[in-house]
A = this chain, B = another copy of it.
Amino acid sequence: HLPFALIAGPCQMESRAHALEMAAALKEITETLGIGLVFKTSFDKANRTSASAARGLGLDAALPVFAEIRESLGIPVLTDVHDAHQCAPVAEAVDVLQIPAFLCRQTDLLLAAAATGRVVNVKKGQFLAPWDMKNVVAKLVDAGNPNVLLTERGASFGYNTLVSDFRALPIMAETGAPVIFDATHSVQQPGGQGTSSGGERRFVAVLARAAVAVGVAGLFIETHEDPDRAPSDGPNMVPLAEMPALLARLQAFDRIAKAV
C-alpha cells in the first residue's frame, strides 16, 4: 500500500494569480513532506445554496490557468464537472475529472467523463450506501475507463448534518478503486446557515486522522490562506499555514496503517 496522496486547493478558483499562488505553496509543502499532490480547485460552483452566491471564474477563464499550473509547476490538476458537455474540453486541461456527489448517479455525465480516458473521481452521494458505489464503478468501467477513484464525503444524518461512516472506506475499497476521504465536505452542515452551508473546521483534522488510520489511498482537503474570507466553503477550509503540521501528523498515522 502506497502512502496517501493529497488532493488539495482552494474551493473555487478566485483568480489566476490566487490559483497559481496556492498551487505553488501546496507544492512546496508536499514536496518537503514527500507527499504526492493533486491540485484541486473548481471553475464553477454549480449548486450553491443561493443563486446570488459567487460561482467562480467560469470554464473559459479557468482552463488556461489549469494548463499553466500543470506546465509551470509540473503537478497534476483536478476539477469538477457538472454537465456532460463540459467533460471533453475540461479533460484537455486537467488530469482528473471529478463527479460531484449530487451527480454521482447521472449516467450521461459519468459516461462522458469515462470517454475522456482521464481519471474520474466520483464522490459518493450523501444519499447513497457505500455498497451501492459498485454500480457507479461499473458504469465507468463498462464504458472502458478503469481509472476510477471513489471519495467519501459524508452521509445524510437528519437535516443539515452529515456523518462520516468509516465502514464506507473498506466497503468501497472492495470495488478495487482507490478510496479518498474528503475531510472538508464531511464536516459541512448543508444549508446550515440559512442561505449558505455551514461547517465546523475543527473537525477536519479529527476526521482526517480517523480516515488515515482506517486506511485510504488519498485525502481531499480544501485549504485557503484566509478561509474566513473565501467566497465558498470557508467554514470548512483549513488555513494554509496549518497544513504542514496537519499533514506531518497524518503521515505518521499513515505509516502505521500501512505497516505490514
Contacts and interface: CB of A to CB of B under 8 A. Distances in A.
Nearest to A85: B85
Contact of A132 (B155, B191, B210): B191
Bin the interface of chain A by size: 35 or more
Contact of A102 (B125, B129, B167, B195): B125
Interface stretch (A27-35, A87-95, A134-142, A230-238): A134-142
Interface string A115-143: 00000000001111111100100110011
Given A158-B159, A159-B158, A206-B167, A102 B106 contact: yes
B166 A207 contact: yes
Contacts of A127: 102, 125-127, 156, 190
A177 interface: no
Nearest to A132: B191
A108 interface: yes
Given A166-B166, A252-B256, A138 B107 contact: no
A60 to B, nearest CB: 15
Contact of A106 (B47, B165, B214): B47
Nearest to A100: B106
Contact of A158 (B157, B206, B214): B157
Total copies of this chain within the assembly: 4
Nearest to A158: B158
Contacts of A16: none
A50 interface: yes
A128 B156 CA distance: 9
Contacts of A64: none
A190 B135 CA distance: 12
Contacts of A131: 159, 191
A237 to B, nearest CB: 17
A118 to B, nearest CB: 18
A50 B139 contact: yes
Interface string A142-162: 110000000000011111110
A34 B203 CA distance: 31
Nearest to A213: B213
Interface of A: 46-52, 55, 82-85, 102-103, 105-108, 110-111, 125-132, 135, 138-139, 142-143, 155-161, 163-167, 169-170, 187, 190-191, 195, 200, 202-203, 206-207, 209-214, 249, 252-253, 256-257, 259
Sorted nearest first, the 4 A-B pairs with minimum C-beta distance are A158-B158, A213-B213, A129-B159, A210-B210
